[in-house]
A and B are shown apart, each in its own frame.
Chain A
Amino acid sequence: MSGGVDSSTVAALLVRQGHKIVGMTMQLWNQRRLPELAPETAGHGRCCSLDDVYDARRVAEQVGIPYYVVNFEQQFEEQVVQPFVEEYLAGRTPIPCTLCNNYIKFDRFLEMADSVGAHQIATGHYARVRYDDASGRYQLLRARDGSKDQTYFLFGLTQKQLARTLFPLGEMVKPEVRELAREMDLAVASKGDSQEICFVPNGDYAAFLNAYLKDKGVEPQSTRGSIVTTDGRTLGEHEGVHHFTVGQRKGLGISSKEPLYVISTDSQTQRVVVGGNDDLLCGRFIARQLNWISIAGVTAPVRAQVKIRNKHAAASATILPTADPACVEVIFDEPQRAVTPGQGAVFYDGDLVLGGGWIG
């Protein structure tokens, strides 16, 4: 229970359906730890803030369930924050929400559920799970509310995890959820949606990286270098590759007649390569560390729609097995813009999530 409208509604809904439930909030990050980041809001109004815990506790009291705050700060830092920082420093663009789902929300949390004798966990994610008799597998499907669908972040879920997970909001659209929350008189019914990465204030990940490394007593190894064009001309200098992500247009500090975009970053040479919009197009890539959900794997080419970042409209592609069973090659029918190393690639067959991997 994050204290938001979605998980609060889930709790109330399950109680109404007669389930015996226990409410829990995961304390993941101490928002007061890096006070130089947005000091005016430190500890308030963001994920894991006292305000959110207050709201979650109030909802639990209102619907009459036992409620606990569990401290996963250490695991979160080790398995989500540190990899996030390392990925950025290595010139990639990570998605911490997927790591958090894989290692915290559907792993450590499931273990906690086990510990207290709970058989299943329910979250406020927008996604659907169903068991398919024919294949004998748990399937993951896009949420009915396409604009809220979170399956992109859930591609790492294992069969074991899906077997014990409920997504009660998967069949609802957000306005229905809010209406239901209002109908059940939940205090959080009109609370705003959370948007950004929960531990990075104002989406300023470069400031977060600097503050975090300073807190850890690590001198951020300088990743300054040059900004070059695809044909090798040097246009200027930059303050560190972790300030750039593929497809970025703003903040390059270079004037040019044609709009310039980041095409790639290279942490070895510390070069940021820029070019025109067409240079961003990419027809194929390798997806690594695959996790298959609705199918057991691919042994022959498979047609799918592939999503390469959360806001990307999945594009038609062919998935080809490679010699390494943990990797596939994805070939788009039409080249796609900004295929970004570090992001996830999720394979869909309509609403069905076949599986996914990391763009290497």
Chain B
Amino acid sequence: MVSCLGQVYGNASSIHHFGQAAKQKLEAARRQVAALIHASPAEVVFTSGGTEADNLALFGMVRAAGRPQAHIIVSSIEHPAVLASAAQLEREGVAVTCLPVSANGTVDPEGVHRAIRPNTVLISIMHANNELGVVQPIAEISRVAREAGVPLHVDGVQALGKVAVDVDTLGVDLYSMSGHKLYAPKGVGALYMRKGTKLAPTAFGGHHERDRRPGTENVPGIVAFGAACELAGRTLAAESERLAALRDRLENSVLGRISGVGVSGRYATRTPNTSNIYFDGVDGEAMVIALDLRGFAVSTGSACSSGAITPSHVLTALGLSADRARSSLRFSLGRATTAEQVDALVDALEASVAHLRRISVHA
């Protein structure tokens, strides 16, 4: 990556040798990304990140379908990159079905089947949920989609690098990816597009990425993303096992030592790195700040543009009460997380929860 900021500074679209050197790096990265999801390199379109990949998938597919009365299906726990895109399409006249999820946070493939209409042009269901880690039954959903002849887009941002991804086994037509979830720098991602998928571009101005995404490629970012994919592929199995053990350690300690707590989506298939725990009677926003001041970075809901916290649409979709949604925290474990850190976190949680519950009794 560093070489692409200096020696290999060429524009990958240029004919001269500087450009060609950059192009070689770009294509090597494309092979690395494709390898991680068992796709062919030509099916990978680089983007600025997961949000752009999701936008390209939704707007590009609806536009390419060219139907005056198009219909799309999404789930209620999608990332805002999908939900807000769907809302915009709705304003533009597209019919949108937003599927509910079970109390465990999973989409019912049978529900997808029932929602399909003759004019359905796209189904978009995420692979793993960002707040819960719950993994959706994508293979089952893709069977339903394929039988009906409807393309399936899967937002894989939270799953890539955490669980094995094979676009053929999953049966997806489009798959969104984000580099920084695999420790690449921020600002790079990709959209997998199965060969033959008809997608209209949403930006114009160049022939980059086979006319699917114009704009000079972020070569340093893409090269780093490729390297991150290769690393993730090598370490995925062992790292998943390690993270799952740490997550279980966290959850078991919390459940054992603190009363009035529960893990959302606990009995679903989950990615190993995410845990969403509610602490009854505790204000999640205050807890995030209290923990941050003690050096632990956790989150709740999703931050809005000012940085203030709003109640999570994912937790309310699960059927959690507004109070419980507000008392929920999301824990994300990563490559650098150790058992000692988890134990220290549990100590801090125990103290903070006791303190906050004592205060709210007086309030």
Contacts and interface: CB of A to CB of B under 8 A. Distances in A.
B359 interface: yes
Contacts of A115: 283, 286-287, 289-290, 355-356, 359
Contacts of B292: 66, 68
Q: Which of A48, A114, A116, A117 is packed against the most chain B CB atoms within 10 Å?
A: A116
A146 B292 CA distance: 40
Nearest to B356: A115
B310 interface: yes
Q: By DSSP majority rule, is chain B's interface helix, strand, loop, or mixed? A: helix
B238 interface: no
Interface in B307-363: 307-310, 355-356, 359-360, 363
Contacts of B309: 70-71
B306 A22 contact: no
Report, as a range, how many residues of chain A touch the other chain.
10 to 19
Contacts of A112: 283, 285-286, 289
A255 B285 CA distance: 56
Interface residues of B, number: 20
B293 interface: yes
A114 B289 contact: no
A53 B307 contact: yes
A48 B308 CA distance: 11
B280 to A, nearest CB: 15
Contact of A70 (B308, B359, B363): B308
A45 B146 CA distance: 51
B7 interface: no
A70 B356 CA distance: 16
A57 B307 CA distance: 10
A111 B285 contact: no
B145 to A, nearest CB: 37
A69 B290 contact: no
Interface string A46-62: 00101001000100000
B104 to A, nearest CB: 28
In terms of DSSP, what is the predominant structure of the interface of chain A? mixed
A111 B358 CA distance: 11
Interface in A98-117: 111-112, 114-117
B306 A69 contact: yes
A310 interface: no
A116 B306 contact: no
Contact of A68 (B304, B305, B307, B356): B307
A16 to B, nearest CB: 21
A48 B304 CA distance: 13
A354 B355 CA distance: 35
A112 B283 CA distance: 9
- Of the listed residues A70, A111, A115, A117, the one surrounded by the most CB atoms of chain B closer than 10 A to its CB is A115
A111 B306 contact: no
Interface in A74-105: none
A27 interface: yes
A20 to B, nearest CB: 10
A68 B310 contact: no
A117 B286 CA distance: 10
B308 A117 contact: no
A102 B238 CA distance: 55
Contacts of A116: 286, 289-290, 293
Contacts of A73: 308
A329 to B, nearest CB: 34
Contact of B308 (A66, A71, A111): A71
A211 to B, nearest CB: 21
Contacts of B359: 111, 114-115
B293 A69 contact: no
26 contacts: A22-B289, A25-B306, A50-B305, A53-B306, A57-B307, A66-B293, A68-B307, A70-B289, A70-B308, A71-B304, A71-B310, A111-B360, A111-B363, A112-B285, A112-B286, A112-B289, A114-B359, A115-B283, A115-B286, A115-B287, A115-B289, A115-B356, A115-B359, A116-B289, A116-B293, A117-B290
Interface of B: 283, 285-287, 289-290, 292-293, 304-310, 355-356, 359-360, 363
Given A71-B310, A112-B283, A117-B355, 18 more contacts: A22-B293, A25-B306, A48-B306, A50-B306, A53-B306, A66-B293, A69-B307, A70-B285, A70-B289, A111-B360, A111-B363, A112-B285, A112-B289, A115-B287, A115-B289, A115-B359, A116-B293, A117-B290
